Amino acid sequence: MSDTVKQFSVRVLKDAPLMEFLAERLKDYSRTQLKSLLSHRQLWLNGELMLTRHDHPLKAGDRVDVRSSKTMRRNQKLEHSQLKVVFEDEHIMVVYKNEGFLTVGTDREKLQTVYHVLNQYMKTFGQDKRIFVVHRLDRETSGLLVFAKSKEVQEALQSNWETLMKERSYTAIVKGQLPEQQGVIKAYLWEDKQLRMHASETDNGGQYAETKYSVMGTKGPYSMVQLWLKTGRKNQIRVHLQSVGCPIVGDKKYGGPASPIKRVCLHAGLLTFKHPMTGQMMHFEWPIPSSFNKLVRVK
């Protein structure tokens, strides 16, 4: 990042969680200051991975870089109840959106969208500034999204998506129990005239899709499941879970039961990808909504 400067580096001498390491090695910093470095995305591991978790495990021999960035302070200018800027540089923007908030406009709604809000935000830095859509989340899904700040970066991300995107993880609360504690759901997905997706175990001309899953915990009629996209199809996770008899709680469109917490229980909480322009590995996590724990609590 052209306007990001490395202030100093600290070598890890023994295995330790990040915050424990910082408290021991940066004794001149208060606990609040250390947390601020983390929340403002100023800590990097070995010059490649942005550190976002206070308990990230460090290994002896690692290097933690403490950086300052002019762009970090710009994030405070966007104030919106449904949206938060997580990271921003001159090429990309990573944001978190609440459930119930559209990524892009529809025939019925043009303004109450992530895309519109971010474009209005960009215009505060010049009339020629705008945002470019890279991927989307369903309206009912909360979670992390990446946007580009130029057509060039948008094309770089979209044309090399499978290579650059290293991990995308979701958390869902589903009805019932999956066939195994861990597995991969495989099916061909196709769309009907009502724009509803369907799954087929055999190739019927639809798009092949794979979703890896791991059961995190079960309580009563519900299970909490972590899911990883191996392909990125429309409504993929929702349709795949329905196809194995475990629809997402609150997802009426795909057979889910009514939600006690008044939302579709699907959350896109983890993104790891290679920056399309700098080549740096970017890692972002957003905690599971606390309301999910009312249905299934896991450690």
Known catalytic residue: 138? yes
Q: What are phi and psi of 17, to 5 degrees?
A: -65, 155
Type and span of the H or E element at 108: none
Q: Which CATH superfamily is domain 4-69 in?
A: RNA-binding S4 domain (3.10.290.10)
| Alpha carbons 206 and 178: distance in angstroms, whole number | 24
Residue 234 has a pLDDT of 84
Domains 71-164+273-294 and 169-267 in one fold: yes
C-alpha count within 13 angstroms, C-beta hemisphere, residue 20:
10
pLDDT recorded at residue 72: 44
- Give CATH for domain 169-267: 3.30.2350.10
CB 25 within 8 A of CB 10: yes
Q: Supply the pLDDT for residue 220.
A: 94
Give me the pLDDT at residue 9, please.
83
Residue 270 pLDDT: 94
**Exactly one of 138, 192, 203, 251 is catalytic; which is it?**
138
Q: How far is 43 from 23, CA to CA, in rounded Å?
A: 14
Q: What is the pLDDT of residue 40?
A: 75
Inter-helix orientation angle 18-25/31-39, to 10°: 130
Q: Which of 117, 95, 114, 96 lies closest to 104, judged by CA?
A: 114
What single DSSP character describes residue 48? T
CA distance 298 to 211: 22
Domain boundaries, the chain: 4-69, 71-164+273-294, 169-267
Report d(CA 72, CA 85) in Å as an integer.
10
Neighbours of 179 (CB within 10 A): 10
- pLDDT value of position 128: 76
| pLDDT less than 50: residues of the chain | 1-6, 70-76
Q: Are 179 and 280 in contact (CB under 8 A)?
A: no
What CATH number is given for 71-164+273-294 in this structure? 3.30.2350.10
Q: Which two tokens stand for residue 216?
A: 């995190």
Q: Is 21 buried (19+), middle (13-18) or exposed (0-12) by CB count in 10 A?
A: buried
Distance from CA of residue 234 to its chain's centroid?
Answer: 16
